[in-house]
Amino acid sequence: MEFTAEQIAGLLQGEVDGNPSASVNGLAKIEEGNQGSLSFLSNAKYEEFIYTTESSICIVNKTFIPSKALPATLTLIRVDDAYACFAKLLEIYNSMNRKEPEIEQPSFIHKTASIGTDPYIGAFAYIGQHVKIGHNVQIYPNVVLGDNVQIGDNSILFANVSIYADCIIGNNVIIHAGTVIGSDGFGYAPDENRAYQKIPQIGNVVIEDDVEIGSNCSIDRATMGSTFIRKGVKIDNLCQIAHNVEIGEHTAMAAQVGIAGSAKIGKHVMIGGQAGIAGHLYITDETKIVAQSGVPASIKSADTLMGSPAINHHDFKRSYIGFRKLPFILSKISEFETQIKELMKK
């Protein structure tokens, strides 16, 4: 589908600088643009590419002033915030690629399940007893929904997502391929022979509205009660969230984060990749945890933490400078010991 610069400017409330009839049929990074593509420039670090790009249209900030001649074939659309406007276009573009309503065959839908209007259900999907699916939901091939699962309106479950029995998914939730929701928590108790006996996990997982979960994540059901992923949370690929964890609203975590059982994470927390968080602790709102950090104890005041065990990132950097000097310090100590021994002999 093609759009003209004039049409795009109308969507973004922008101003056309160039040919209003210039048209595009795809999106591209500014350094990879070609004829018929739409790009954007918001970071001055990439300005050099606007003078050589082959894109037909580029979205720029109204404050952008070229330092040299632009390509003759390039039309600009000037807006208040180029990055935000391009994100808006990506969202529109993505919504145009939604699956058309259809129930593909073969798939299994239990007779007690209820499904809202305009669903897409891919081939080989399994929908168990008493499942409730809202309106405009997309369920891709090989998705498994256990008994009593609830899925809210406008949610998308990509291929091979498995949601165990009794779990609840809110509205506008996106779950990417291979993720498992509601698998058993890691609960075992050693008996008199020191053999581990499984503790039944009878709770569920509750995922509130506007959450997005990356591919191949595992979110365990609670031992009792619920594991909660609150509204607006964003979880990257390959994350592990254990039983009875609660993730506060609008918290975001990067890939390979691991959160142990019964940890409570506050609102608007940011967690870098490969960070590990111990169980049965609380992390207060607005905390930032740097990648590969380890958090063994509760964080009661908002801070930026780094290292393992995690401490204030400024303190960590100062400590690391000392750590890097240790070989030199040890060498000096060895020299001093040698000199002392020589003096003692005299």
Would you write out the chain's pLDDT as a tens digit for each of its 346 residues? 789 999 999 999 999 999 999 999 989 999 999 999 999 999 999 999 999 999 999 999 999 999 999 999 999 999 999 999 999 888 888 777 788 999 999 999 999 999 999 999 999 999 999 999 999 999 999 999 999 999 999 999 999 999 999 999 999 999 999 999 999 999 999 999 999 999 999 999 999 999 999 999 999 999 999 999 999 999 999 999 999 999 999 999 999 999 999 999 999 999 999 999 999 999 999 999 999 999 999 999 999 999 999 999 999 988 888 888 888 888 889 889 888 988 888 7
Report the candidate in 121, 192, 190, 103 with the shortest Cα–Cα distance to residue 159: 121
pLDDT for res 322? 84
Under a CB-based contact definition with an 8 Å cutoff, are residues 220 and 227 in contact? yes
- Using the structure block, give the residue that is written with the tokens 């509760």: 298
Q: What pLDDT is attached to residue 249?
A: 98
CA atoms within 13 A on the CB side of 161: 27
Q: What span, in angstroms and rounded, lies between the C-alpha atoms of 258 and 284?
A: 17
Residues constituting the chain? 346
Sorted by where each begins, the domain ranges of the chain are 3-96, 102-315, 319-345
Report pLDDT for 94: 78
Residue 15: HSE in the Cβ half-sphere, 13 Å Cα cutoff: 8
What residues act catalytically? 243
Q: Cα–Cα distance between 25 and 36 in angstroms, integer?
A: 6
Q: Is 122 left (phi over 0), alpha (psi -120 to 50) or beta?
A: beta
C-alpha distance across the termini of the chain, in Å: 92
Report the pLDDT value the prediction gives residue 342, as an integer from 0 to 100: 86
Give the per-residue pLDDT at 77.
Answer: 96
pLDDT of residue 91: 84
Phi, psi angle pair for 89, to nearest 5°: -65, -40
Residue 194 is classified by DSSP as S
Single-letter amino acid code for the residue at 202: I
CB 102 within 8 A of CB 123: no
Global pTM reads 0.84
The Cα 160–Cα 126 span in angstroms is: 10
Q: In the CATH hierarchy, which fold is given to the domain comprising 3-96?
A: 3.40.1390
Architecture of domain 102-315: 3 Solenoid (2.160)
pLDDT for the residue 163? 98
How do residues 226-272 score in pLDDT, each as one tens digit?
999 999 999 999 999 999 999 999 999 999 999 999 999 999 999 99
